[in-house]
C-alpha cells in the first residue's frame, strides 16, 4: 500500500509539473489538457460534497442490521 501511495504521489505531482511548465512556456496541448482537467474538477467538486455528506448521514442514521436483513 505504501509503495502504491508513493507511485500515486509521483505521477500526480508529475502531471501537476507538466501543467505548470506548459502554462509557463505556453505549450498549447498542455494548456488545453489543463483547461480540460480544471473544468472537470470544478464540475465534480460541485456535486461530490453533497453526495458524500448524504452517504455519511445514511451511515449514521441507518443501522447496519437493517441493511443486513435485506441481504
* Interface residues toward another protein, by CB under 8 A: 8, 11-12, 15, 29, 32-34, 36-37, 40-41, 43-44, 46-57, 59-61
**Which residues contact residue 4 at a Cβ distance below 8 angstroms, ignoring those fewer than 6 apart?**
none
**Of 20, 39, 40, nearest to 30 (Cα)?**
20
Cβ proximity to another protein, 11 vs 25, nearer residue: 11
Residue 37 near residue 19 (C-beta atoms within 8 A): yes
Rank residues 24 and 60 by Cβ distance to another protein and give the closer one. 60
At closest approach, how far in Å is the CB of 1 from another protein?
12
Amino acid at each position: 500500500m505504501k509503495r502504491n501511495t508513493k507511485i500515486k504521489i509521483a505521477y500526480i505531482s508529475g502531471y501537476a509539473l507538466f501543467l505548470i511548465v506548459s502554462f509557463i512556456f505556453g505549450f498549447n496541448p498542455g494548456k488545453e489538457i489543463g483547461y480540460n482537467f480544471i473544468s472537470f474538477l470544478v464540475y465534480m467538486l460541485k456535486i461530490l460534497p453533497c453526495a458524500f455528506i448524504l452517504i455519511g448521514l445514511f451511515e449514521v442514521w441507518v443501522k447496519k442490521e437493517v441493511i443486513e436483513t435485506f441481504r
